[in-house]
Chains A and B, each alone.
Chain A
Amino acid sequence: QSVLTQPPSVSGAPGQRVTISCTGSRSNIGAGYDVHWYQHLPGTAPKLLISGNTNRPSGVPDRFSGSKSDTSASLSITGLQAEDEAHYYCQSFDSSLSHWVFGTGTKLTVL
């Protein structure tokens, strides 16, 4: 069981906005450690979407944005497209475990 909790699933219609939460604690997100986000389609290579809480790597559409507050972080996707249907994971560091951790993962369904 991960120390970073995400909703198992979220959904939205094309064009809508969805938000995926990543809830941690004082030993990870709340300690000031950066949160990063990845997109993963089963059978393919995971892709970095957001680094350092809010930074989009080159090539990632500006429809994707990240935020962080206190002990949680969020990934927002606006203008949903069919190609966004995938699993999404947050990642940070946990001082109690002394290693890097991933969130439980969220499956996004585009209706």
Chain B
Amino acid sequence: EVQLLESGGDLVQPGGSLRLSCAASGFPFNNYAMTWVRQAPGKGLEWVSTIIASGGSTYYADSVEGRFSISRDNSGNTLYLQLNSLRAEDTAIYYCAKTRLAAVHTYFDYWGQGTLVTVSS
């Protein structure tokens, strides 16, 4: 059974940093791309970032480019998202998702339950 468990969400001040983790199990983690998706309060889903299976290529939404960094530890079956220079508009539930990477046809077949990041002074 595929399981994805996010952690690391917290209350942080504007300009601060945070690192989110996603522990994966139930599938060969090093064979699959992984993605972070977020949902701000009262809003819909927003794609944030994707990393390929080897970790060699990463992709970011314009809204987080240069501030967030996605990485993975294939030996520890864990996905990470480093959040820097946080803004109030980054407040959201962050979900990790196992990714069926197929270029423009990519989709997300399993998701975690999310971790809440709140950016406020």
> Is B one of A's binding partners?
yes
Q: How many A-B residue pairs have CB under 8 A?
A: 68
Check B113 against A45 for contact (C-beta < 8 Å): yes
Contact B106–A105 (Cβ < 8 Å): no
Q: B-side interface residues toward A, CB under 8 Å?
A: 4, 37, 44-47, 50, 59, 61-62, 95, 97, 100, 102, 104-114
Residues of A within 8 A of B111 (CB): 45-48
What is the distance, in angstroms, from A92's C-beta to the closest C-beta of chain B?
Answer: 8
Chain A interface size band reads: 20 to 34
21 contacts between A and B (CB under 8 A): A33-B105, A34-B104, A34-B107, A36-B107, A40-B45, A43-B113, A45-B4, A45-B95, A45-B113, A46-B45, A46-B111, A89-B44, A91-B108, A93-B104, A93-B105, A100-B50, A100-B106, A101-B47, A102-B37, A102-B46, A105-B44
Decide if the interface of chain B is mainly helix, strand, loop or mixed. Answer: strand
Cα A95 to Cα B111 in complex, Å, equals 25
Q: Which B residues touch A31, using CB under 8 A?
A: 104
A interface residues, Cβ below 8 angstroms from B: 2, 31, 33-34, 36, 38, 40, 43-48, 51-52, 57, 87, 89, 91, 93, 95, 97, 99-105
Nearest neighbor of B61 in chain A, beta-carbon distance: A99
Find out whether the CB atom of B105 lies under 8 angstroms from the CB atom of A46.
Answer: no
Complex Cα–Cα for A104 and B62 (A): 18
